[in-house]
Amino acid sequence: MTEVAKNIIQLRLTNQLRCLYTIIRDENTKRADFVFYSDRIIRLLVEEGLNQLPTKPKNVVTPTGATFHGYEFEGKICGVSIIRAGESMEQGLRDCCRSVRLGKILIQRDEETAMPKLFYVKLPSDISKRYVLLLDPLLATGGSASMAIEVLKQKGVPDERIIFLNVLASPEGIKVFQEKYPKIKVITGMIDDGLNEHKYVLPGVGDFGDRYYCV
């Protein structure tokens, strides 16, 4: 883990991570491999997201009869995916948290203006009392993520309880979170070079949702 800025956390760039990103960036990588290796990265992001959650002491008795002074998470969590690409990260969360509650927000970008539009929201009724792991593989302009966060805030979720997970981020998107949402933690696997004239992350992975879901 590397703390890029106060609220920006990047996974430690290990040899394994370098290889995983090389595979998913390759335009010749088959869909099955793209899904498999993306899932490995997503699992690492979820694990780091869980590391950021507060804990409280809990004592348990082991099978030897001894007492172990351990910990448990302080509050309930839920995942909220930004449809559709964000749904690719749901299984990674389920793998780490059994029976986790999930919400969905549908935001689509206008290809001409690059501005986000909100189409659909479905969230747990008690989301204001939970820690939220916001899921979206790519942080580009930050427009969709910002709109999703505003939806969560309108539902009563404080900034301090939101953790945004993404596979790749742009410097422009990171800047949005540094300036607009300094209390929200962003956990990313890698920060890329920037955005092109079409607002796509470079060097990037292309359209993550298409490569993950389309044969």
Query: Where does residue 31 fall: left (phi above 0), alpha (psi -120 to 50 degrees), or beta otherwise?
Result: alpha
Tell me how far apart the alpha carbons of residues 179 and 57 are, in angstroms, rounded to a whole number.
34
**Residue 44 identity:** L
Is 113 one of the catalytic residues? yes
Distance, in Å, from the CA atom of 90 to the CA atom of 101, rounded to the nearest integer, reads 10
- pLDDT tens digits along 142-191: 989 999 999 999 999 999 999 999 999 999 999 999 999 999 999 999 99
Of 26, 126, 193, 207, which residue is the catalytic one?
207
Q: For residue range 7-53, what is the model confidence (pLDDT) as tens digits?
A: 999 999 999 999 999 999 999 999 999 999 999 999 999 999 999 99
Question: Strand pairing of 77-83 and 201-202?
Answer: unpaired
Distance CA(86)–CA(45), nearest Å, equals: 13
Q: Select which of 113, 130, 188, 211 is catalytic.
A: 113
Active site residue 2: no
**Domain chopping of the chain, boundaries:** 2-213
pLDDT exceeds cutoff 80 at 111: no
Q: For residue range 99-108, what is the model confidence (pLDDT) as tens digits?
A: 899 999 998 8
Confirm whether 210 is a catalytic residue.
Answer: yes
Neighbours of 53 (CB within 10 A): 14
Active site residue 26: no
Choosing from 39, 43, 109, 159, which is the catalytic residue? Answer: 109
Pick the catalytic residue from 33, 110, 193, 210.
210
CATH 3.40.50.2020 fits 2-213, yes or no: yes
Q: What pTM value is reported for the model? A: 0.92
